[in-house]
């Protein structure tokens, strides 16, 4: 046994992490340790650790007196629902989870492993940032990590969980990954902390107000999910992975194939959801839940730009990405945040072969001096670019309004959608009937004895003659006008017919999206 004494001692230290006092401090803050988090995320017993005995090589500032095995980050691979993943978890009980050279090398190595085998990589972030004692070497490895994030982007899914502080240069790596999850009250992510901001600008703020989980989820859109606690965060990540392929060469997972039940009572409910009055709002989710399998949606960035819905779902057991206007917020109109949110989601789905379903009820783009000054032309164009660039199967359903630029951008036939459908309630026009009448009949309305009565008559005529789906259908811009209860069946058959779709892009280095 004496031959293995050193091994047993070092392994015990590795499994323990930081000192008992440091572990206790972590728990008092309401946070789990790195290994506790890995146990919650991965299938029981599936984790295989790598580089457990790596130590730092820094001798500055007395660092050579403390060289714990693992160097403050746990790396390895395991499974989630029996599907392989790679993972690294920053250990806040060792050097505050700060990144140095050896720490960085471990993370880069596990990312290289994920790329080689073609599996998702998940980063559990809880760190004080760069290890000051190691100076530029620590900064170099942050840059190396960002380079890896970019190189694997669109090749393997990258997920970040912010489970403590993530500040300065450390924040940019999670920002480059596909999805970021934050936890209420314990997650913070910002470039500059409250103390530095106060010293430079005099502004008083808190870490929570500046870059807490709620701010990042609802205000700046950095986070894609706001979890109530760590267990909720890990449940979301496990659910999200169930919709994603392991890499860009694999098809999205398929769990089962539903038999065709024909028109069901649930389908019939679609006929009653959209109010007859255009001015009345409704919840677009009520439509989406009746389209996807079992009514299950996994929404992305639910609190940010709520005027548009981005969600994963399944149709016949296979993953789909859904983009839908939400009439409950700003009447479903597009603005800067909605455009950027949806554009990024569309591009993710396209990168990983996930078909895109678009549900349209949009009065157009919002306008105003502030939005123009903030760049709605340039930034709103991102959504046009994303749809036009996409090569995956794309099906669009116009539910109610599709006016102006909103019609064009939301998965129109002209941007390359494969199957375009509309309900009889759809109104497809340059603008709403009232606005069109005000422009087209300005003189008649001005000279009329009863302008209001004439306006009502002209509005009704415009809606009947021009704001209908049939003009678009006559030109082939719509493939069919269907009853609402036929929607799921048409989508099912459409996706079947588009299975294996391949549209090679023109040879080029890359396009130039208006960033």
Q: What is the pLDDT of residues 173-214, one digit of tens each?
A: 999 999 999 999 999 999 888 888 888 888 889 989 999 999
CATH number at residue 100: 3.90.226.10
Q: Which of 423, 448, 466 is the last residue of a domain?
A: 466
Residues 492 and 450 in one domain: no
Task: Give the model confidence (pLDDT) of 192-203 as tens digits.
Answer: 888 888 888 888
Residues 448 and 359 in one domain: no
Residues 460 and 417 in one domain: no
116, pLDDT greater than 90? yes
Q: Is residue 359 part of a domain?
A: yes
Residues 7 and 72 in one domain: yes
Q: Is residue 251 part of a domain?
A: no
> How far is Cα 441 from Cα 403, in angstroms, rounded to an integer?
19
Residues 117 and 185 in one domain: yes
Range in 233-247, 270-284, 420-434 with the lowest mean pLDDT: 420-434
Residues 197 and 321 in one domain: no
**Residue with the larger pLDDT of the pair 6 and 367:** 367
Q: Which are the contacts of 458, defined by CB distance < 8 A and separation ≥ 6?
A: 437, 441, 444, 445
> How far is Cα 134 from Cα 101, in angstroms, rounded to an integer?
7
Task: Give which of 79, 147, 81, 137 is closest to 111, Cα–Cα.
Answer: 147
Q: Is residue 510 part of a domain?
A: no
428, pLDDT greater than 80? yes
Residues 202 and 285 in one domain: no
Range in 40-54, 77-91, 282-296, 500-514 with the lowest mean pLDDT: 500-514
Residues 26 and 173 in one domain: yes
Q: Is residue 120 part of a domain?
A: yes
Instruction: Residue 443: give the domain boundaries.
Output: 433-466
The pLDDT, as a whole number, for residue 466 is 72
- Tell me the pLDDT of the chain averaged across its residues: 90
Q: Is residue 253 part of a domain?
A: no
Q: Is residue 249 part of a domain?
A: no
Residues 216 and 327 in one domain: no
Residues 333 and 222 in one domain: no
Q: Could you tell me what percent of the chain has a pLDDT over 70?
A: 96
| β-bridge pairing 298-300 and 308-315 | antiparallel
Q: Is residue 257 part of a domain?
A: no
Task: Give the model confidence (pLDDT) of 51-105 as tens digits.
Answer: 988 887 866 776 766 778 778 899 999 999 999 999 999 999 888 888 888 889 9
Task: Give the model confidence (pLDDT) of 117-151 as tens digits.
Answer: 999 999 999 988 888 788 788 888 889 999 999 99
The pLDDT, as a whole number, for residue 1 is 54
Q: Which of 241, 274, 303 is the last residue of a domain?
A: 241
The pLDDT, as a whole number, for residue 243 is 98
> How far is Cα 176 from Cα 186, in angstroms, rounded to an integer?
21
Could you tell me the pLDDT band of residue 6, with boundaries at 50, 70 and 90? confident
> How far is Cα 88 from Cα 54, in angstroms, rounded to an integer?
14
Q: Is residue 11 part of a domain?
A: yes
Residues 31 and 41 in one domain: yes
385, pLDDT greater than 70? yes
Q: Mean pLDDT across the stretch 424-437?
A: 80
Domain count, the chain: 3
Residues 172 and 190 in one domain: yes
467, pLDDT greater than 80? no
Q: Could you tell me what percent of the chain has a pLDDT over 90?
A: 65
The pLDDT, as a whole number, for residue 124 is 97
């Amino acid at each position: 046994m004496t031959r293995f004494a050193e091994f047993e001692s070092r392994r015990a230290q590795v499994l323990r992490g930081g000192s008992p006092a440091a572990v206790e401090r972590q728990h008092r803050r309401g946070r789990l340790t790195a290994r506790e988090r890995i146990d919650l995320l991965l299938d029981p017993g599936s984790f295989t650790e790598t580089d457990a005995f790596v130590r730092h090589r820094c001798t500055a500032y007395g660092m050579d007196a403390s060289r714990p095995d693992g160097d403050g980050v746990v790396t390895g691979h395991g499974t989630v629902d029996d599907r392989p993943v790679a993972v690294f978890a920053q250990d806040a009980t060792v050097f505050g989870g700060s990144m140095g050279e050896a720490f960085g090398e471990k993370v880069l190595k596990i990312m290289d492993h994920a790329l080689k085998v073609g599996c998702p990589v998940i980063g559990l972030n809880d760190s004080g940032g760069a290890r000051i004692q190691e100076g530029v070497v620590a900064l170099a490895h942050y840059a190396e990590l960002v380079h890896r994030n970019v190189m694997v982007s669109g090749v393997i899914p990258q997920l970040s969980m912010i489970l403590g502080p993530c500040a300065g240069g450390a924040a940019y790596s999670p920002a480059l990954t596909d999805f970021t999850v934050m936890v209420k009250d314990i997650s913070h992510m910002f470039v500059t902390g409250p103390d530095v901001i106060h010293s430079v600008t005099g502004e008083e703020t808190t870490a929570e107000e500046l870059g807490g989980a709620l701010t990042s989820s609802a205000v700046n859109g950095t986070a894609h999910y706001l979890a109530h606690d760590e267990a909720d965060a890990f449940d979301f990540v496990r659910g999200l992975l169930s919709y994603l392929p392991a890499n860009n060469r694999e098809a999205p997972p398929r769990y089962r194939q539903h038999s065709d039940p024909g028109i069901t009572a649930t389908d019939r409910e679609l006929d009653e959801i959209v109010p007859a009055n255009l001015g009345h709002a409704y919840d677009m989710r009520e439509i989406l839940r009746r389209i996807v399998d079992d009514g299950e949606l996994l929404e992305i960035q639910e609190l940010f730009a709520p005027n548009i819905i981005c969600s994963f779902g399944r149709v016949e057991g296979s993953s789909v990405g859904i983009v839908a206007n939400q009439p409950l917020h700003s009447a479903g109109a597009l603005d800067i945040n909605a455009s950027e949110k949806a554009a990024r989601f569309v591009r993710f789905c396209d990168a990983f072969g996930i078909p895109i379903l678009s549900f349209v009820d949009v009065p157009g783009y919002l306008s105003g001096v502030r939005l123009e000054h903030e760049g709605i032309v340039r930034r709103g164009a991102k959504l046009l670019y994303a749809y036009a660039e996409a090569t995956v199967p794309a099906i669009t359903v116009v539910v109610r309004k599709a006016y102006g630029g909103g019609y064009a951008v939301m998965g129109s036939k002209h941007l390359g959608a494969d199957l375009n459908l509309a309900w009889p309630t759809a109104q497809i026009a340059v603008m709403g009937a009232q606005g069109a009448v005000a422009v087209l009949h300005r003189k008649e309305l001005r000279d009329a004895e009863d302008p209001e009565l004439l306006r009502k008559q002209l509005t009704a005529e415009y809606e009947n003659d021009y704001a209908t789906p049939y003009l678009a259908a006559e030109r082939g811009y719509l493939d069919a006008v269907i009853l609402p209860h036929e929607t799921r069946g048409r989508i099912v058959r459409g996706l079947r017919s588009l299975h294996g779709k391949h549209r090679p892009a023109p040879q080029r280095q890359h396009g130039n999206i208006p960033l």
